[in-house]
Amino acid sequence: QLEQQQQPTGLYVRVRGMVKHFNTAKGVFKAVDGVDVDIPPSSICALLGPSGSGKTTLLRLVAGLELPTGGKIYFDDLDATDLAVQDRQVGLVFQSYALFNHMTVSENIKFGLQVRKLPVDHDKRAADLLELVQLTGLGDRYPRQLSGGQRQRVALARALASNPRLLLLDEPFGALDAVVRKQLRAGLKEIVRSVGVTTIIVTHDQEEAFDLADQVVIFNRGLIEQSGSPNEIIKRPATPFVMGFVGDTNSVPAGCMLVRRSGFNPRLGKARVMFRPSDIRLSKEYVATLDGQQVTPATVNEAANMGWTMKYTLKFDDDVECEFSVTRAQADKEFKLDVGQRIYVVVPPSAMMEFDETELGSAPII
C-alpha cells in the first residue's frame, strides 16, 4: 500500500467535442470525429471498439501526445487542452514495454522521480511500488531477466511512481498470453482501486473491458456508439452496432417467419433483425402459444459440442437459421435436443432490434 500522504485523488476527466483529423495522401482522415466523455474521479474507463475506430487517438489526445483539431479536455476544472504532456500528471503504459534495458528494475521505476526531482525518498518509493506490483526482491534485475508479464508490472510501477492523477493504458496486456493477462488484470484492478487514480484503458479484449471497467465506451468510426456501465451495455445496447459488437447475436431478415409471428413491426424496408440467443424460448411439444406469443416451428439442424456448452442451430420453415447455446448441464436435462427434432420457438419482440445492414458500420475485427 502506498503511504496515505502520497495518495493522489483521481482527476475528473471531461472530453468535449473532441475532433482529430489527420491529413493523409488520400485526404483528411477523421480519426476522432466529435466525442464527449465524462470520466469520474478514481473510476476505470475502458475504450472498446474495432481496430482503427479511434480509441488510441483519443487516449493520445488525453495524454497530450496529440493536439486536437477541435474540442476541449478538462482535468477537474482546468482546461487541459493545450497543457504539455509533462504538466498533465498522467502515467502511461503501452503494449510495448518501453522499459530502459540498460537500467535495473528499480532504476526504471525511479527514473521519472529523478527527472521530475520529486522530493520523496526514491529508494523507498521504488521498494513500495515493487511491493504494490508484487515484484519485491526483483529490483536489481534487468528487464531482459524478466517475463513479459513481469515487465508490464514494472511498466505499471514506473507509471505510478510519480503519483499520477490519471493513468492511461494502451493495450497494456496485448502482447501477453491469456493466463498472464488474467492475472495482471486482477492485479491492475486492485492496484488502481487502492491508489485511487482515474484510469483509462484501451483494449480489444471485451472480457478485459467488461471485467475491469466502471464505464465502457464503445467506439465506431471515430464516434461513440454507447457509453455506460458494463451491465447497461450488455443488457441495453443503444445501437445495432453495439448489439452486434458485444456478445452473441442472431441476425435474421426482418420479413422472416419468426419476426412476423413475433409481432415485431419493422420500420425499415430491407432490414434485418438482431436478437440475443439467450432470448430464445422453446417448447419440445407442440403448443400454439408460448409466453403468450404465437410460436414458430423449427427443426434442430445441428448440435455442436463446444466443450462447456452445446450450440444448436435451428432452421425455420422459410430456411432462415438461428443459433443458441446452452450449458452442458442444461443440455443434459431440459434442453436435450436431437438433430432433426421439431421444436416450437418464440422470441419476444422487445428483445428484437432492427437495423439496416448498410448502416451497421465497420465489421468488428477482434
| Residues near ligand ATP (CB under 6 A) | 22, 24, 29, 31, 49, 51-57, 202, 204
Name the minimum Å distance from CB 29 to ligand ATP. Answer: 5
What is the 3-class SS of 192-253, one letter each residue?
HHHHCCEEEEEECCHHHHHHHCCEEEEEECCEEEEEECHHHHHHCCCCHHHHHHCCCCEEEE
Cβ proximity to ligand ATP: between 50 and 112 the closer is 50
Cβ proximity to ligand ATP: between 66 and 321 the closer is 66
Angular region, 263: left φ>0, alpha ψ -120 to 50, beta rest: left
Closest by CA to 44, choosing from 233, 196, 240, 269, is 196
Name the minimum Å distance from CB 78 to ligand ATP. Answer: 25
Cβ proximity to ligand ATP: between 22 and 286 the closer is 22
Name the minimum Å distance from CB 260 to ligand ATP. Answer: 38
Name the minimum Å distance from CB 219 to ligand ATP. Answer: 6
Cβ proximity to ligand ATP: between 287 and 365 the closer is 365
Name the minimum Å distance from CB 221 to ligand ATP. Answer: 9
Name the minimum Å distance from CB 57 to ligand ATP. Answer: 3
Cβ proximity to ligand ATP: between 61 and 298 the closer is 61
- Rounded CA gap, 154 and 66, in Å? 25
Burial of 188 (0-12, 13-18, 19+ CB in 10 A): buried
- Rounded CA gap, 199 and 191, in Å? 11
Cβ proximity to ligand ATP: between 139 and 222 the closer is 222
C-alpha separations of 313 from 233, 249, 307 in Å: 26, 13, 16
348 DSSP 8-state letter: -
